[in-house]
Amino acid sequence: MMENEVVNLFKTYRETSEYNLLVSFKGRLSQEVLTELGSMIRTSLSTESKIKKIFAVFIELAQNMLHYSAERKINEEQKDAGVGILVVRENSVGYHVASGNLVLNEKIEFLTERIQKINSMNKDELKSFYQQQLRSERPEDSKGAGVGLIDIARKSDGPLVFHFDSLDGKQSFFTISAFFTKEN
C-alpha cells in the first residue's frame, strides 16, 4: 500500500518564476492527450501571431516522441506509444517548445549530425533540403518522410537546441527545443 506523501511544488514554482509555463506533460502520449494539450496551447496563445507555427512545432515534437521514444508503453487501444516530456513556456522575449525522451545511444550520432546539418542552413537551404527529402526514399526506421526536424527548423526563429544526458550504456535522454520570438 502506498502512503500519501507531501508533494513539494514550491521548488518547481520558484524555478518557473522566470517564465510562464503554458503546457507541461510527462507520460505516455495518446491522441486524446495530444488533442487536449493542443487545445490548451491554442487557448493560451490565441493572441500570438505565430500560433500556427508554434502549434505545428509542438505537434511535430509530440509525434517524434510518440513514434521514436525508446521508452514505450501500451495505450488504451493496445498500441505501442512513446513516453517522454513536452513543455511550452513563455518568457519576455518569446516561446520555447521542447520535448525530451529516451533514445538508444546508437541514434545519438545520427541525431547530432542531422540537427547540426539543419542548424547550418539558412531558410532557403532548409526549403530546398525539405523538398529534396520529400522526393527521396523514406529513411529505414522512419514513420514519415524524414522531414520533421527540417520542418521544425523552418518554422522556428533560431537554431534547434539539443542535448543528450547519458543514462547507461544503452540509452540517453534526448532534449530538443525550438524558439519563437514574440511579435505582439
Residue 44: which CATH number?
A: 3.30.565.10
What is the model's pTM? Answer: 0.88
Asked if residue 5 belongs to a domain, the reply is no
Asked if residue 106 belongs to a domain, the reply is yes
Q: Tell me the residue length of the chain.
A: 184
- How many structural domains is the chain composed of? 1
Q: Give the pLDDT of the chain (184 residues) as one tens digit per residue.
A: 668 777 778 887 888 888 888 999 999 988 888 889 989 998 888 888 999 999 999 999 999 998 899 999 986 677 788 999 999 999 999 999 999 999 999 999 999 999 999 999 999 999 999 999 888 877 666 666 579 999 999 999 999 999 999 999 999 999 999 999 997 5
Asked if residue 11 belongs to a domain, the reply is no
Asked if residue 7 belongs to a domain, the reply is no
Q: Exposure of 166 by Cβ count < 10 A (0-12 exposed, 13-18 middle, 19+ buried)?
A: exposed
Residues 6 or more apart whose Cβ sits within 8 Å of residue 120: none
Q: Which domain holds residue 151?
A: 18-181
Asked if residue 26 belongs to a domain, the reply is yes
CA distance 115 to 119: 6
